[in-house]
């Protein structure tokens, strides 16, 4: 089956590279640079398009894992935010059963990340060993998110040493399935 999105993006990239870039006045190097950035970004989107669903799913999983770990440690002052448990429950349901739309992955990941931020802000107001443990947990858990983001952008050539970064499909499979 023809992937029309791939075809449209390919045509746009060819148009930029073969028609627009050569027509840009050499006295306008910023315009040339911008056209090349746009072409590269479209190429990244084209190459990553098929991974977008899995990427959003893994992002939700990582966000829920972090929120769960942070909540298990508790707030330094002993308080809780009940709605965060609902975010975890909803996220677990969506990961198990599938989302009603891909946007549901993103919405729940944002809610989980906001929950983590709320816990961190509360911890920042209290100087304690619990607050330091929360911060350490966030830093540890963030490593997978950073690795995933680096894999996502590796395609664009924005890595100093791409050999040190997993290809996107490998990173997604490792994080989704633990392989």
Tell me the CB-side half-sphere exposure of residue 56, using CA atoms within 13 A.
17
The number of domains in the chain is 2
1: tokens are 């089956």
Same domain, 15 and 66: no
How far is the C-alpha of 106 from the C-alpha of 59, rounded, in Å? 8
Same domain, 45 and 63: no
Which of 50, 67, 88 is at the close of a domain? 50
Same domain, 22 and 60: no
pTM exceeding the 0.95 threshold for the entire prediction: no
SS3 at position 159: coil
How far is the C-alpha of 62 from the C-alpha of 80, rounded, in Å? 21
- Quick: pLDDT tens for 139-175: 888 888 888 888 887 876 777 888 888 888 888 888 8
Same domain, 26 and 107: no
DSSP 8-class letter at 51: G
pLDDT of 35 reads 94
Same domain, 85 and 125: yes
Same domain, 67 and 129: yes
Same domain, 168 and 85: yes
How far is the C-alpha of 172 from the C-alpha of 166, rounded, in Å? 9
How far is the C-alpha of 94 from the C-alpha of 117, rounded, in Å? 22
Same domain, 83 and 168: yes
Of residues 82, 22, 86, 60, the one with CA closest to residue 148: 60
Same domain, 19 and 89: no
Domain hosting 154: range is 51-177
Task: Count CB atoms within 10 A of the CB of residue 132.
Answer: 12
- Quick: pLDDT tens for 88-99: 999 999 999 988
Same domain, 146 and 67: yes
Same domain, 98 and 56: yes
Same domain, 35 and 64: no
pLDDT bin (cut points 50, 70, 90) of residue 31 is very high
Of residues 65, 15, 20, the one with CA closest to residue 43: 15
pLDDT bin (cut points 50, 70, 90) of residue 76 is low
How far is the C-alpha of 108 from the C-alpha of 95, rounded, in Å? 10
pLDDT of 79 reads 60
pLDDT of 37 higher than 80:
yes
């Amino acid at each position: 089956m023809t992937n029309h999105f791939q075809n449209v993006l390919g045509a746009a990239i060819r148009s930029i590279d073969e028609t627009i870039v050569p027509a840009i006045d050499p006295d306008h190097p910023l315009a040339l640079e911008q056209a090349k950035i746009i072409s590269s970004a479209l190429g990244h989107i084209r190459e990553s398009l098929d991974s977008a669903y899995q990427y959003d799913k893994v992002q939700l999983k990582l966000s829920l894992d972090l929120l769960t770990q942070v909540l298990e440690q508790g707030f330094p002052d002993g308080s809780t935010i009940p709605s965060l448990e609902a975010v975890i429950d909803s996220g677990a349901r969506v990961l198990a059963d599938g989302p009603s739309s891909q946007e549901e992955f993103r919405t729940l990941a944002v809610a989980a990340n906001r929950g983590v931020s709320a816990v961190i802000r509360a911890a920042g107001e209290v100087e304690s060993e619990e607050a330091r443990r929360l911060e350490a947990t966030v830093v540890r858990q963030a490593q997978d998110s950073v690795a995933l983001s680096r894999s996502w952008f590796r395609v664009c050539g924005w890595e100093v040493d791409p050999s040190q970064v997993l290809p996107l499909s490998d990173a997604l499979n490792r994080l989704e399935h633990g392989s």
